[in-house]
Structure 1
Amino acid sequence: MKNINYKKIIRCYALLFTLCIPLLLMQSCTKKSRSDMGKALFTKTQNKVFKNVTPEGFAPVFQKVIQEQKSSLGNPLQIEAFYAQNDYDPKFVMDHLNNDDLKTFSSYLLKANEHGLDPNLFKAQAYNDLLNKFYDKKAIKTTDEAYHDIAELELMTANILINYSNALQYGIISPRRIYARYYTATQRPDSNAVNKVLAVTNFKTYLDSIQPKNPQYLALQKALLSSSTAPGMTQEETDRTIKVNLERLRWKNKPSQDKYVIVNIPDFRLDVMEGGKSTLNMKVCVGEGRNKDYANTLIEYDDSDKTDRPFSRETPQLASMIYEAQVNPIWNIPQSIVSKEIVKHAEDDPYYLANNNIDVFENGKKLEDSETIDWGSEDLSKYEFKQRPGDDNSLGKVKFLFPNKSSVYLHDTPAQEPFKKNMRAVSHGCVRLEKPLDLAHSLFGDGSKYDMIKQFMSEDNPKPTDVALSKKVPVYITYVTCWADENGTLQYRPDVYGLDIVLFAHMQKFLASNSKTVLAMATPAN
């Protein structure tokens, strides 16, 4: 038989005892700290009913209330687990009723309209009414009622604080769930966000910390509160436009890099941002939109407007990285454009393809007699159509590439007339640039690569050339219809794709579905 090392065993028991004692003491201290629950509540409320309240009497009532209201909670599993782990201790009521933190919280909820959010989303009035019962020493008449109201107030505080916090930090609507062509990574609230809220110890400090600090957000808040009216809009439509753009500003999808390219679709403009300032801007043409005549507005909408039905040519919202410039590019014409436009011209004019430098390939081999083909009877899927580089190439002299699911890019164009117009939603989906060479200079800087791009763009016999960007630059294609310019003046743009209408309809649906029940907002991260 092997010798037993008693000394080692004794040391292990000693270590285990050392580790367990603090935990046991902490648990006993927690229970001891709530042993005066009734006295503490009576001191604050002066309602004698609370003198009979005990942690042991409260816990089963709280468990029952949680189970009864579980289906209406935004984060039922996390909330239930949190209180189970803490012996169903009403931490928010016990730690924050005495110092009037809950009154402060209630006042913030009642002023949610300052964010363009209806206070009913957060059950603000119901919460305030319940809280006031605790300050009326005759409102709560029995011990059973006291237990129930403490449980209600505790659960409402936890749930609404999570929902209010998520609304201000992430927005109430997930753009990826409502827009068909939205490819920008957008953070949504998760379990970590919930845990952070449940750990709050100072309400005012926390509530002030989650107020968005973005100057754009503050400018739109000010405009909403001042009831300013945009030119050509009613007061109601102005308010709605500001509200949807406040919601967009709450989405966690904003550029964080020092330098990036941003395209705002409704403004038909591109900016190169460096250090928070625009160092280059230009007009752009974007994809043709469903609302290009601006007939549909936020003044009226119906239930069907919640469904996003993008026009086939609309430019998507996305975030990516520009990695290359293709000088004198070949245009690989998409099948949709071939079938809807190219072959129709070719049927009317057999020399259309040749006159526009368009080559046709079958199985990778160029056809020499494409003008003799009866395109109306052909299966177009077996052909590839490519436009050679040149002055008439639809992509112009240069295009800038970035990975994306929609095969869109920024590019030059021989069609300069649209840049003279205010409504520039005219492309097939890509973004046409007013000053492509200036963008090349901003991206590549002075040096041999920019000089090569400039030279090749001016040549009479152009050849396709790929020029890699040494340091990739982020590009954001976004959709904003109201913002403050550098002078602080609010700018408004018509809703060319009808995306304001879609967003506002979802915000109204959200209000309707949640104003009657406790708000359920913290959706899983996408």
Structure 2
Amino acid sequence: MSRKNGIDVFSRRAFLRTAATIGAAAVAGKAAAQSAIDEIINAPRRGNWDDQFDAKASRTATAVVSNNPIFGPGSAGHIQQAIFDYQNIVANGGWPQVNAGQKLEIGVSDPAVQQLRQRLIISGDLPRSAGISSSFDSYVDGAVKRFQARHGLPADGVLGEYTLKAMNVPADIRLAQLQTNLVRIQAMSGDLGRRFVMVNIPAAYIEAVENNRVALRHTAIVGKIDRQSPILNSKIYEVILNPYWTAPRSIVQKDIVPLMRKDPTYLTRNAIRLIDGNGNEVAPETIDWNAEKAPDLMFRQDPGKINAMSSTKINFHNEHAVYMHDTPQQGLFNKLMRFESSGCVRVQNVRDLSTWLLKETPGWSRSQIEATIRAGNNTPIKLAEEVPVYFVYVTAWSAKDRVVQFRDDIYQRDGEEQLALQTNIGVERGPVDDDALPQ
């Protein structure tokens, strides 16, 4: 999409609908932006950081998450408003690059903090009244945390590598990113269902939405750059407690066979059984693991704590053979870069999601789910009513509070290299998919 023609993606109806409410704001925003530099320069100079601690500002700085879903009745209008705001920022010269010669964090005094303050003021993360100085005080700390939260980064208040690179993406590129994602959001503007699940791949998180409000949010782990999670619309029809895991053919060929060549006990140690077409178990020692092709057998792992899907599998119709599931490797949810699977989606606190999915299915309370998992028996449960699920790729969006969110273009689909921050910095990845394959 052309940046110059970004406004053309608005339909005439959408433009007329929003013009009355945002026109005045756009004019006022332009005037404010034009005088922003004067206001910054003339604002009171701040003293040392340690005598300006504002606990309330610090606590509220990262409160950028609401119960408004990415896809809701006003989603397109909200991102249109963000586009108007960013057009004003671009028209008035954008924001400065922050050139940090040292790690910038609370307590530091450095000339680069002046650039940082100006950058954060222009993007709305720091009040203009905070002024310009070289001191990284509690106001700057809170503003950096707010910026980090809006970009899906750990809100630690420190200008590390990823925060600095995200901050130095030029305003015109962010504007183009908003325009690109407007089209994606408009494509999902229909009736998505009374209850639905949305997996946002670049954000690596999940929303369970009910009556246009977010009921649950879950951190997720999604597909690697070279094994991407697909875009899809489907319906969840089943939750399986204590699932078997059947290895996909690609995993068998690429990962399991090489592991068996190195360690012939791998299958036995991980409770993976070989099953032939007649349902009979085949002993691993009878297989030639040095053959060119993997054996034409089912590789099925028994239920249990070491199962690749751990306690839960969530099934939905799709041609990609992907699903959502639990994992025994909970520590991976704490990683900044959660692009580790072969396309399936791991769900943190999956039992909360299972409870929500099954709450309209008689007999499946949270206590019954927990008791069944403890018993360890493979238990498929059909939902009383199938729940729509959407795997989407949205790297920028906004809510009615005008908090604009950006995420890394991990699969490089936005058409701008600078937006694929984690991809370009270089992510150290293991050779094996630890989402689906036990070690």
Match of 2:87 among 225, 234, 257: 225
Is residue 299 of structure 2 the alignment partner of residue 457 of structure 1?
no
8 Å contact 2:78–2:400 — kept in the other structure? no
Q: 1:317 maps to which residue? A: 231
Match of 1:283 among 206, 219, 239: 219
Question: 1:418 Cα shift?
Answer: 1.2
| Partners of 2:281 and 2:289 in 1: CA distance | 13
Which amino acid is the alignment partner of residue 336 of structure 1? S
Question: 1:218 Cα shift?
Answer: 2.8
**Cα deviations across residues 57-112 of structure 1 (Å, max 9, x unaligned)?**
xxxxxxxxxxxxxxxxxxxxxxxxxxxxxxxxxxxxxxxxxxxxxxxxxxxxxxx9
- Paired residue secondary structure (2:199): strand
Report how many aligned residue pairs link the two structures.
288
| Partners of 2:192 and 2:4 in 1: CA distance | 26
| Partners of 2:312 and 2:368 in 1: CA distance | 12
**Cα deviations across residues 251-286 of structure 1 (Å, max 9, x unaligned)?**
256553232111111111111112222111110000
From the superposition, tell whether residues 497 and 255 of structure 1 become closer, same or farther in structure 2 (CA, over 3 Å): farther
From the superposition, tell whether residues 252 and 210 of structure 1 become closer, same or farther in structure 2 (CA, over 3 Å): farther
Q: 1:118 maps to which residue? A: 5
Question: 1:232 Cα shift?
Answer: 3.1
Is residue 10 of structure 2 the alignment partner of residue 168 of structure 1?
yes
- Paired residue secondary structure (1:266): coil
Question: 1:368 Cα shift?
Answer: 4.3
From the superposition, tell whether residues 373 and 206 of structure 1 become closer, same or farther in structure 2 (CA, over 3 Å): closer
Is residue 185 of structure 2 the alignment partner of residue 271 of structure 1?
no
**Cα deviations across residues 327-347 of structure 1 (Å, max 9, x unaligned)?**
111111111000000111111
Tell me the C-alpha RMSD between the 2 structures.
Answer: 2.9
Which amino acid is the alignment partner of residue 449 of structure 1? W
Is residue 183 of structure 2 the alignment partner of residue 247 of structure 1?
yes
Is residue 284 of structure 2 the alignment partner of residue 348 of structure 1?
no
8 Å contact 1:396–1:414 — kept in the other structure? yes
* Structure 1 segment 452-491 matched on structure 2, within 5 A: 452-459=368-375, 462-485=376-399, 487-491=401-405
* Structure 1 segment 177-192 matched on structure 2, within 5 A: none
Is residue 123 of structure 2 the alignment partner of residue 208 of structure 1?
no
Q: 1:425 maps to which residue? A: 339
| Partners of 2:334 and 2:183 in 1: CA distance | 32
Q: 2:355 maps to which residue? A: 441
| Partners of 2:218 and 2:341 in 1: CA distance | 16
Is residue 171 of structure 2 the alignment partner of residue 235 of structure 1?
yes
Is residue 251 of structure 2 the alignment partner of residue 337 of structure 1?
yes
From the superposition, tell whether residues 365 and 274 of structure 1 become closer, same or farther in structure 2 (CA, over 3 Å): closer
Is residue 198 of structure 2 the alignment partner of residue 262 of structure 1?
yes
| Partners of 1:333 and 1:206 in 2: CA distance | 47
Question: 1:499 Cα shift?
Answer: 1.3
8 Å contact 2:79–2:399 — kept in the other structure? no
8 Å contact 2:326–2:346 — kept in the other structure? yes
Is residue 316 of structure 2 the alignment partner of residue 402 of structure 1?
yes
8 Å contact 2:303–2:377 — kept in the other structure? yes
8 Å contact 2:202–2:410 — kept in the other structure? yes
* Structure 1 segment 93-104 matched on structure 2, within 5 A: none
Q: Give the percent of matched residue pairs that are identical in Structure 1 and Structure 2.
A: 30
Question: 1:489 Cα shift?
Answer: 1.6
Which amino acid is the alignment partner of residue 10 of structure 2? L
From the superposition, tell whether residues 485 and 210 of structure 1 become closer, same or farther in structure 2 (CA, over 3 Å): closer
| Partners of 1:316 and 1:502 in 2: CA distance | 21
8 Å contact 2:83–2:175 — kept in the other structure? no
Match of 1:364 among 268, 271, 278: 278
| Partners of 2:220 and 2:380 in 1: CA distance | 23
Which amino acid is the alignment partner of residue 208 of structure 1? L
- Paired residue secondary structure (1:457): helix
| Partners of 1:219 and 1:256 in 2: CA distance | 23
| Partners of 1:210 and 1:232 in 2: CA distance | 30
TM-score, normalising length from structure 1? 0.50
8 Å contact 2:237–2:315 — kept in the other structure? yes
**Cα deviations across residues 226-266 of structure 1 (Å, max 9, x unaligned)?**
22656231223222212211222332565532321111111
Question: 1:431 Cα shift?
Answer: 0.6
Q: Which runs of 5+ in 2 are unaligned?
A: 20-72, 96-165, 419-439
From the superposition, tell whether residues 344 and 253 of structure 1 become closer, same or farther in structure 2 (CA, over 3 Å): farther
* Structure 1 segment 153-164 matched on structure 2, within 5 A: none
| Partners of 2:191 and 2:262 in 1: CA distance | 48
Question: 1:381 Cα shift?
Answer: 5.0
Q: 1:513 maps to which residue? A: none
* Structure 1 segment 291-306 matched on structure 2, within 5 A: none
Question: 1:421 Cα shift?
Answer: 0.5
Q: 2:33 maps to which residue? A: none
| Partners of 1:350 and 1:335 in 2: CA distance | 19
From the superposition, tell whether residues 378 and 372 of structure 1 become closer, same or farther in structure 2 (CA, over 3 Å): farther
8 Å contact 2:197–2:209 — kept in the other structure? yes
